[in-house]
Structure 1
Amino acid sequence: MPQIYKIYINEIVLILTHTIPSDIEDYQEVKSSDFRFSEFYEHAKQMNRPKIFVIRSREFKSLFRNMKRSMQLIKAAGGLVKNEEEKYLFIFRNGKWDLPKGKIEEGEKTRLAAIREVEEECGIRIQKSGKKICNTYHIYEFNNERVLKKTSWYKMKTENQNELIPQLEEGITDVRWLGPGDLMMVKQNTYPLVRDLISPIG
């Protein structure tokens, strides 16, 4: 698969790439010469339906670096956790289904941060941390400044963790193990970023 950067802004996905992957459909291509990030961001904020925009350029890495310099960078980590019943761990926060994740503390290793956040948010113990899945990039505003959140995602496994405890102080009101047959419920009420992460499992 060609190397790409996927950047999420609410319901919008902006893809920077050299070669458009074959599995991406129904997208609008934007010329790199016409692209102005600030203008694009303001436009994307107003859109309330999912849409994919693609910038295809040999200089896509440089374009991404320039975008990143214009924002505050926050690093986070999380997990796609599977149990012995082949079910996956989801949290319900701010009215939507999500995957457990959180900010990396100063000096903390990324993988260890991912495990810590999953354990804290769901009240479980992770027994095995597997391969890194990917990095995702999400742009939002905080104190009237644009923030780019880079989240590193890892596969994780655990067994006999049936008592789930949502971390209420983080706004999590429910934690559940869900099988592939339950994922439509999640996809209908989640973020594009999460839909992309769980697409390989159902």
Structure 2
Amino acid sequence: MLNENDQTELTNTLSGRDVAQAGALCYRRTEGGGLEILFVGSRRNGRWGIPKGRVEYGEITSAAALRKAFEEAGVVGLVDATVFGSFSYRKDTGPNHYHVSVHLLQVSRIADEFPEKSIRKTHWFPLKDAMREAARPGLRALLCRVENIDL
């Protein structure tokens, strides 16, 4: 027989939880004036997306976005405090529902060393290619919005 705590954990596991995440839409301008987007490869399946992850207790989403961009891709830059947009997704392997608040992050440089350097692929994509390569439909929609603003 399950006690109350075990039953609650089992229910959360079966039905999933809503998980708040923050993401950084990292961009830069090329010498020719084109816009490029930095993607990171998923550790699970290699699909391209933005640096993102859980918002820690007491952390604001812009700080979490900047932290994840550095941890996953070595990004140093200027993050916009305003949420640019959001998207939601579920992982193929679990019941949780993730809600990502996305911030624009103008990249000034990439650090030589960062926590996930040995386990993450990174790649700069021209905006049009990024729209095609983005793994999540909600992220593709945000990239379409980027096309219509002046960065």
Specify the TM-score bucket, using the shorter chain as the normaliser: 0.5 to 0.7
The one-letter code matched in structure 1 to 2:127 is: P
Q: What is the CA–CA distance in structure 1 between the aligned matches of 2:113 and 2:37, rounded to whole Å?
A: 12
Aligned pairs for 1:13-92 within 5 A? 71-85=16-30, 86-92=35-41
Partner of 2:122: 175
Q: Which runs of 5+ in 1 are unaligned?
A: 1-69
Using CA pairs below 8 Å that are at least 6 residues apart, which structure has the higher relative contact order? 2
Partner of 1:199: 144
Q: What is the CA–CA distance in structure 2 between the aligned matches of 1:184 and 1:74, rounded to whole Å?
A: 25
Say whether residues 1:100 and 2:35 are aligned partners.
no
Q: What is the CA–CA distance in structure 1 between the aligned matches of 2:102 and 2:25, rounded to whole Å?
A: 7
Query: What CA RMSD, in Å, does the superposition of the two structures yield over aligned residues?
Result: 2.7
Q: Which runs of 5+ in 2 are unaligned?
A: 1-14
Q: What is the CA–CA distance in structure 2 between the aligned matches of 1:179 and 1:162, rounded to whole Å?
A: 21
Q: What is the CA–CA distance in structure 2 between the aligned matches of 1:87 and 1:165, rounded to whole Å?
A: 21
Q: What is the CA–CA distance in structure 2 between the aligned matches of 1:107 and 1:185, rounded to whole Å?
A: 35
Aligned pairs for 1:123-134 within 5 A? 123-129=74-80, 131-134=82-85
TM-score, length-scaled by structure 2:
0.68
Say if 1:164 and 1:175, in contact at 8 Å, map to a contact too.
no
* Equivalent residue in structure 2 for 1:161, among 110, 131, 136: 110
* Equivalent residue in structure 2 for 1:152, among 80, 86, 101: 101
TM-score, length-scaled by structure 1:
0.53
Secondary structure in 1 matching 2:57: coil
Percent identity, aligned pairs only, is 24
| 1:200 positional shift | 2.8
Deviation sequence 1:53-75 (CA, Å, 0-9, x none): xxxxxxxxxxxxxxxxx641211
The one-letter code matched in structure 1 to 2:50 is: L
Deviation sequence 1:6-35 (CA, Å, 0-9, x none): xxxxxxxxxxxxxxxxxxxxxxxxxxxxxx
| 1:196 positional shift | 1.8
Task: Name which one, 1 or 2, has greater alpha-carbon Rg.
Answer: 1
